[in-house]
Amino acid sequence: MRPEKSEKKEISIGIPGLIEIHYKREKLVKAVDVKPCGMMVLALSDGVLVLHYDENTKKLRYAFFDSKGRLRDVGETF
Amino acid sequence: MSATISEEDVKKELELHDELDLVLVLAIGPSLASHLAVQKRAILISKLLGVDLEVKPYRYGLYSETITEKLQSAKNATLFRKRDGKYELAPIGLRAYYEILKRLAVKKGEDTSRFIEILHHMSDDELLALTYHLFPESFEESEIKDKVRAVIEQFRGKGIIKAKREGEKIVLEADA
């Protein structure tokens, strides 16, 4: 059985240090800077991950939508 | 009519507009769009692209007076128009939509253009959930906050994305 391919991306967001995103995907993604209070998106194989870092609360909020635009997961770091 | 619009026509038209007009073209997209959907999509796209846009909490979450003014501006009638209380792209606006997506894919990567395409598949409830979740100030004046919160809670912590802090680092694991 072929092991699942896992890739790791480090993205600088300035003030709080690093966001590391580990995901399964067949091809590499270009790095995108997330500015403080900025938003970024990452296309994954099954949909899109939306991230927003709020500098005031120091929280990273995320939402994952599948390719048909259906919401699948939301959360935040504390 | 759209068959008579050349690539040069589209490029010339795009030069006549500011970046927020182009955000609105992306926000309206290929199908008839409600005012609420255009507002939410435009706020998300402008945040993503770093386009300045003043927003404030209002009855249905974050709202931009500038977006409403631009949607009604005669200057933008070549790009989009109102029909049956909703907004649609004019033929040259639709060509501009695909041209802007193509440019974004080159300039910002496929992730951005894919996100914008997925935005157009989202229901109003999902658009509201996304904007309220990412920008919690949306709840402040909202008349529909309980409804939106219920949608968000329904999908919270489903396990597709796992987030944790490791010191100063935030680690996200995506099972997708």
Task: Give the pLDDT of residue A5.
Answer: 47
Task: Give the pLDDT of residue B59.
Answer: 97
Orientation of helix B145-155 relative to helix B124-134, angle to 10°? 90
Q: Higher-confidence residue: A56 or B83?
A: B83
Task: Give the pLDDT of residue B1.
Answer: 47
Percent of chain A with pLDDT over 70: 53
How does pLDDT run across B4-56, given as a tens digit for each residue?
Answer: 899 999 999 999 999 999 999 999 999 999 999 999 999 999 999 989 999 99
Q: Is the residue at A47 inside a domain?
A: yes
DSSP string, A32-78: ----TT-EEEEEETTEEEEEEEETTTTEEEEEEEETTS-EEEEEE--
| Mean pLDDT, range B121-150, rounded to an integer | 97
Could you report the predicted ipTM of this complex, rounded to two decimals? 0.91
What residues in B contact A27, CB-CB < 8 Å? none
Q: Is the residue at A13 inside a domain?
A: yes
Kindly give the pairing relationship between strand A59-66 and strand A47-54.
antiparallel
B53 burial class (0-12, 13-18, 19+ CB within 10 angstroms)?
Answer: middle
Task: Give the pLDDT of residue A14.
Answer: 43
Instruction: Measure CB to CB from residue B156 to each of A16, A67, A74 and give the nearest one.
Output: A74
Judged by CB atoms closer than 8 Å, whether chains meet at B161 and A40 is answered as: no
Structure tokens that stand for B170 in this block: 């935030």
Q: Is the residue at A1 inside a domain?
A: no
Nearest CA among A74, A44, A35, A67 for reference residue B154:
A74
**Composition of chain B by helix, strand, coil, percent to 5:** 60, 15, 25
Classified as helix, coil or strand, B64 is coil
Query: What mean pLDDT, rounded, does chain A reach?
Result: 70
How does pLDDT run across B97-115, given as a tens digit for each residue?
Answer: 999 999 999 998 888 999 9
Q: Is the residue at A2 inside a domain?
A: no
Q: How far is CA B57 from CA B27, B132, B143, in A?
A: 19, 10, 11
List all residues 6 or more positions away from A20 whose beta carbon is below 8 Å from its beta carbon: A8, A9, A10, A11, B169, B170, B171, B172
Q: Higher-confidence residue: A36 or B174?
A: B174
- For residue A49, the enclosing domain spans 7-76
Q: Higher-confidence residue: A38 or B62?
A: B62
pLDDT for A60 beyond 90: no
Q: Is the residue at A19 inside a domain?
A: yes
Judged by CB atoms closer than 8 Å, whether chains meet at B118 and A23 is answered as: no
Judged by CB atoms closer than 8 Å, whether chains meet at A73 and B155 is answered as: yes
Eight-state DSSP code of residue B16: T
Task: Give the pLDDT of residue A74.
Answer: 97
Provide the domain count of chain A.
1
Among the ranges given (A26-30, B7-11, B160-164), the one the predictor scored with the smallest mean pLDDT: A26-30
What are the sequence ranges of the domains in chain B?
2-124
Q: Give the helix/strand (H/E) hosting B63.
A: strand B61-63
Distance CA B145, CA B77 (A): 34
Size of interface A-B (CB pairs under 8 A): 145
Structure tokens that stand for A12 in this block: 């600088």
What residues in A contact B42, CB-CB < 8 Å? none
